[in-house]
Amino acid sequence: MAVSEVYNDRGELRILEDLDELRTDLADYIADLSDAAVKERGVFATALSGGSLIHLMGSFFGWENSKLCEAPYNKTMPIVPSHVHSINDSVSAEEAADDYMFVIRQLVKTRMVSVPDINDCAKFDLILLGMGPDGHIASLFPNHSALDETDKWVTFIIGSPKTPPERIHSLCLSSIQHQT
């Protein structure tokens, strides 16, 4: 049985019994958000961090890593391949961050992703983040200088405390914080 508590200024915290309950609750939550966004703007924009989250989502929804759109990996929901924007891991982390920033700016330009009037951060309808055992999210590690980045939406890290040592962050902390 799920336990839920609403925090007026921060959203809702849900504690679920097991992975089956999480799968069902998450699928319902994503469906509700998606329906609302599509009715309001005609699109639903989501961002997923990598690592264990992709594996968990894959086990829930039939996805397999970067093959999210291809049959037979995506068995449960249609995703248009041109709507998936993965991080380019064939270039340096700095180049990959610049490339990904360009992609997000193009999504803003085509109105797939919005930018609110109150800040200069790309606004997604949903960002799903996993958390590493050391507390890191989106390759943002506790006490690392990359947490201080505020001028960019996307950044990179060299000298990561976890392999690989050179990483791109899906989004900077300031971008993640401005999603609410």
**pLDDT tens digit string along 3-42?**
666 666 667 788 888 888 887 888 888 888 888 988 988 8
For residue 33, what pLDDT is reported? 86
100-104, 120-124, 163-167: lowest mean pLDDT where?
Answer: 120-124
Q: What is the mean pLDDT of residues 84-99?
A: 84
Peptide bond connecting 116 to the previous residue in cis, omega within 30 degrees of 0: no
Helix (H, G, I), strand (E, B) or coil at 5: strand
Domains of the chain (ranges; CATH) run 3-178 (3.40.50.1360)
Q: Which of 28-42, 123-137, 147-161 has maximum average pLDDT?
A: 28-42
129 vs 55, more confident: 129
**What is the SS3 assignment for 108-177?**
HHCCCCECCCCCCCCECCEEECCCCCCCCECCECCCCHHHHCCCCCCCEEECCCCCCCEEECCCCHHHHH
Q: What is the mean pLDDT of residues 56-76?
A: 55
pTM to 2 decimal places:
0.74
Q: What is the mean pLDDT of residues 155-178?
A: 78
Q: What is the mean pLDDT of residues 76-100?
A: 77
Considering the chain, what is the average pLDDT of its residues?
76
The string of pLDDT tens digits covering residues 168-177 is: 766 777 777 7
Q: What is the mean pLDDT of residues 84-101?
A: 84
Percent of the chain beyond pLDDT 70?
73
Strands 126-128 and 46-48: parallel
11-20, 39-48, 74-83, 152-161: lowest mean pLDDT where?
Answer: 74-83
